[in-house]
């Protein structure tokens, strides 16, 4: 049997100010285009079973454009597969906390072959491929539902699907109590395959267990994901091994940093222009250190800067001030902070402030990051 595993498609995700000719946010269009590319890629491998491990949509109440186009894409995909099994698991982004509110993804079950586990764990028996599937959605983990994590129906193949953050995927500074589960507690050796969703980078924990990662760049800090290609995962029971299948997205570049310590404004802008010789309207970040506060606003004026911006879907400039004043040589600031997200700003702030005696700084930082993750998920 061949299994296709994708996750965290985040349809309806929006970012930056540019819009498509249709009037829809360009990143929302990008995410949909990538999703269709993933489905086309999966079709070419002819899987017997497709698993989506959660966060189909970016929000609980997505816009009509994303609902309509993703429904159509899935319907066409399933028609091409002759209604072969497709199992969808509820994620933290797109599942209402109030069960009575209903879930828009229930609509997908009108498509032949689609099964959806929304709030609580569900077992699906699929006799045509002699397979049982245990789905544990995000809300099941949040409510601490007691689930017997083991095969139960006596089928030849068994698949476990879980949407949540694993202890193994959390950054070292984050309090581990903010994890939803530990991979070691999933008993993956009992299952033919274990499909994980929520973490946006591909991460393999066993030959039959992994996060597939997201299909596009849809987090607040995409720069930490640049070394992790987007796509989906293929698993073959004959081989007993999984492999990640990369799919192209809009390009994202973290350009070489510029040290402006001994440069004039004209030289800095020229260096920015030289770095940003890009094509295809990518998403771009340019870091510039040792920029005097009085000079910073001058970076964003003039035709050269406007030309750079016109080449990119989004051009983000991150500047840090010099450590010492040019004239006096006195220290003017702490070490440069590269914070561009709320998580980064928190870490910079938490590292700089005074703490009461007995408070461990790393633990303090980790608790803050964990609370920010809870807020984002909620």
Output the tens digit of pLDDT for each of the chain's 378 residues. 999 999 999 999 998 888 888 888 999 999 999 999 999 999 999 999 999 999 999 998 888 989 999 999 999 999 999 999 999 999 998 887 766 667 888 899 999 999 999 989 999 999 999 999 999 999 999 999 999 999 998 999 999 999 999 999 987 756 677 789 999 999 999 999 999 999 999 999 999 999 999 999 998 889 989 999 999 999 999 988 999 999 999 999 999 999 998 899 999 999 999 999 999 999 999 999 999 888 888 898 889 999 999 999 999 999 988 865 555 555 455 444 444 567 767 776 776 677 777 677 767 877 787 788 767 665
Question: Is the domain of 162 the same as that of 268?
Answer: no
CB 159 within 8 A of CB 131: yes
**What are the tokens at 138?**
């995000």
Question: Is the domain of 230 the same as that of 91?
Answer: yes
Question: Is the domain of 185 the same as that of 334?
Answer: no
Q: SS3 sequence, the chain?
A: CEEEEECCCCECCCCCCCECCCCCEHHHHHHHHHHHHHHHHHHHHCCCEEEECCCCECCCCCCHHHHHHHHHHHHHHHHHCCCCCEEEECCCCCCCCCHHHCCHHHHHHHCCCEEEECCCCEEEEEHHHCEEEEEECHHHHHCCCCCCCCCCCCCCEEEEEEECCEHHHCCCCCCHHHCCECHHHCCHHHCCEEEEECCCCCEEEECCEEECCCCCCCCCCHHHHCCCCCEEEEEECCCCEEEEEECCCCCEEECCCEECCCCCHHHHHHHHHHHCCCCCCCEEEEEEECCCHHHHHHHHCCHHHHHHHHHCCEEEEEECCCCECCCCCCECCCCCCCCCCHHHHHHHHHHHCCCCCCCCHHHHHHHHHHHHHHHHHC
Question: Is the domain of 20 the same as that of 152?
Answer: yes
Question: Is the domain of 143 the same as that of 68?
Answer: yes
Q: Which pLDDT value is given to residue 339?
A: 45
CB 30 within 8 A of CB 249: yes
CB 42 within 8 A of CB 247: no
CATH code assigned at 69: 3.60.21.10
Of 250, 279, 316, 234, the closest CA to residue 13 belongs to 250
Residue at which a domain ends, from 191, 225, 246? 246
CB 312 within 8 A of CB 277: no
Q: Which pLDDT value is given to residue 337?
A: 45
CB atoms under 10 Å from CB of 179, counted, come to: 19
Instruction: Give 72-110 pLDDT, tens digit per residue.
Output: 999 999 999 999 999 999 999 888 776 666 788 889 999
Q: Which pLDDT value is given to residue 328?
A: 54
> Who's near 51: CB < 8 A, 6+ residues apart?
3, 4, 5, 6, 87, 89, 133, 159, 161, 195
Q: Are strands 283-289 and 252-254 parallel, antiparallel or unpaired?
A: parallel
Question: Is the domain of 272 the same as that of 224?
Answer: no
Q: Which pLDDT value is given to residue 355?
A: 74
Phi/psi for 130 (5° steps) reads 50, 50
Question: Is the domain of 310 the same as that of 353?
Answer: no
Residue at which a domain ends, from 246, 263, 291? 246
Question: Is the domain of 185 the same as that of 200?
Answer: yes
Distance, in Å, from the CA atom of 267 to the CA atom of 299, rounded to the nearest integer, reads: 10
Question: Is the domain of 14 the same as that of 71?
Answer: yes
Distance, in Å, from the CA atom of 174 to the CA atom of 172, rounded to the nearest integer, reads: 6
> Who's near 71: CB < 8 A, 6+ residues apart?
107, 108, 111
Residues across the chain: 378
Question: Is the domain of 323 the same as that of 347?
Answer: no
pTM of structure: 0.83
Domain count, the chain: 3
CA 59 to chain centre: 13
Residue at which a domain ends, from 246, 276, 292? 246
**What are the tokens at 167?**
């202890």
Residue 359, domain extent: 339-378
Question: Is the domain of 129 the same as that of 266?
Answer: no
Question: Is the domain of 169 the same as that of 69?
Answer: yes
Q: Are strands 131-136 and 258-259 parallel, antiparallel or unpaired?
A: unpaired
Distance, in Å, from the CA atom of 339 to the CA atom of 334, rounded to the nearest integer, reads: 13
């Amino acid at each position: 049997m061949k299994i296709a595993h994708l996750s965290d498609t985040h349809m309806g995700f929006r970012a930056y100010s540019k819009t498509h000719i249709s009037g829809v946010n360009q990143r929302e269009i990008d995410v949909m285009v990538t999703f269709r590319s993933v489905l086309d890629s999966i079709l070419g491998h002819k899987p017997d079973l497709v698993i989506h491990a959660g966060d189909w949509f970016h929000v609980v109440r997505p816009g009509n454009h994303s609902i309509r186009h993703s429904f159509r894409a899935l319907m066409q995909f399933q028609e091409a597969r002759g209604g072969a099994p497709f199992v969808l698991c509820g994620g933290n982004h797109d599942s209402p906390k109030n069960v009575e509110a209903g879930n828009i993804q229930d609509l997908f079950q009108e498509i032949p072959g689609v099964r959806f586990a929304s709030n609580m764990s569900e077992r699906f028996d699929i006799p045509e491929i002699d397979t049982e599937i245990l789905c544990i959605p995000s809300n099941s983990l949040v409510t601490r539902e007691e689930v017997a994590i083991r095969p139960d129906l006596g089928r030849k193949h068994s698949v476990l699907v879980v949407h949540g953050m694993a202890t193994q995927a959390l950054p070292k500074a984050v309090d581990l109590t903010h994890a939803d589960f530990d991979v070691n507690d999933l008993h993956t050796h009992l299952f033919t395959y274990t499909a994980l969703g929520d973490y946006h980078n591909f991460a393999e924990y066993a030959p039959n267990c992994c996060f597939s990662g997201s299909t596009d760049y849809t987090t607040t800090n995409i720069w930490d994901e640049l070394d992790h290609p987007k796509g989906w995962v293929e698993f073959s029971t004959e081989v007993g091994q999984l492999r990640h299948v990369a799919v192209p997205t809009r390009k994202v570049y973290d350009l070489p940093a510029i040290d402006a310590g001994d440069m004039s404004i004209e030289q800095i802008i020229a260096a920015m222009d030289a770095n940003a010789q890009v094509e295809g309207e990518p998403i771009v970040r340019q870091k510039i250190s040792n920029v005097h506060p009085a000079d910073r606003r001058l970076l964003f004026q003039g035709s050269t800067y406007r030309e750079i911006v016109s080449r990119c879907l989004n051009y983000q400039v991150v500047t840090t001030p010099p450590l010492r004043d040019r004239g006096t040589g006195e220290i003017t600031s702490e070490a440069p902070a590269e914070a561009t997200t709320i998580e980064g700003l928190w870490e910079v702030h938490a590292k700089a402030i005074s703490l009461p005696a007995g408070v461990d700084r790393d633990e303090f930082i980790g608790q803050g990051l964990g609370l920010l993750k809870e807020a984002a998920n909620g």
